[in-house]
A and B are shown apart, each in its own frame.
Chain A
């Protein structure tokens, strides 16, 4: 079955430190890949997406993610975290090329930022 794993439930980093959030997926073919962010009480905001091509994708708010086919991973990175980045981050996949149009989400990683 298709699945998305975010191994870290909660991560705390200091402001200004670098960040990497992990995401692994299980799917027969390379799906479309997304990272969303959710602030408390809010909906999901798209940070970035990967469909094909360059495996390093740039997103909003200084985030980037790298697709590694051999590891079935799509990790999210940011070189310097700001206090406003504290939120919950969700990795999601969308099966490619088929008629199935639903996103499959990981359980999320909650990011706390220490001053």
Chain B
């Protein structure tokens, strides 16, 4: 069974631009969560989607948004990029919510110049 895939793997943007990252969960998994990883803040939860609905959101500004499609694939969008948005963005999928193990993709490395 294929794992979680994320595209693109690497991305370079400039301040003020926007970016869209994509995540395809493991087949049969309905929950997708997004995390941001930076050297200073570590791994921080962005949001969780289940059945096309955002179920949980972390403490990030409204510039960070996401959505989930009927096939469970998810996208996250960051508008008006700032230098501090440079990070590794990780997507994780799980079969269901609560009590389920989350499996992570390889991440998208975003560099904002």
Interface of A, helix, strand, loop or mixed by DSSP = loop
A76-115 vs B, Cβ < 8 Å mask (1 yes, 0 no): 0000000000000010101011111111111110000000
Closest to A41 in B: B109
Q: In the docked arrangement, what's the CA distance between A55 and B48, Å?
A: 29
Contact of B42 among A32, A46, A100, A105 (CB under 8 A): A105
A63 within 8 Å of B (CB atoms): no
* Interface size class of chain B, counting residues whose CB lies under 8 Å from the partner chain: 20 to 34
Tell which of A45, A46, A51, A99 touches B55, judged by Cβ atoms closer than 8 Å: A99
Residue in B closest to A106 when the chains form the complex, CB atoms: B42
B42 touches A108 (CB 8 A): yes
List residues 42-66 of chain A with CB under 8 A from any CB of chain B. Answer: 42-46, 49, 51
Complex Cα gap A52–B10 (Å): 38
Task: Jot down 14 A-B pairs with beta carbons below 8 A, ordered by A.
Answer: A34-B101, A44-B104, A46-B104, A94-B99, A98-B98, A99-B56, A101-B31, A101-B50, A102-B45, A102-B58, A103-B33, A103-B43, A105-B35, A108-B43
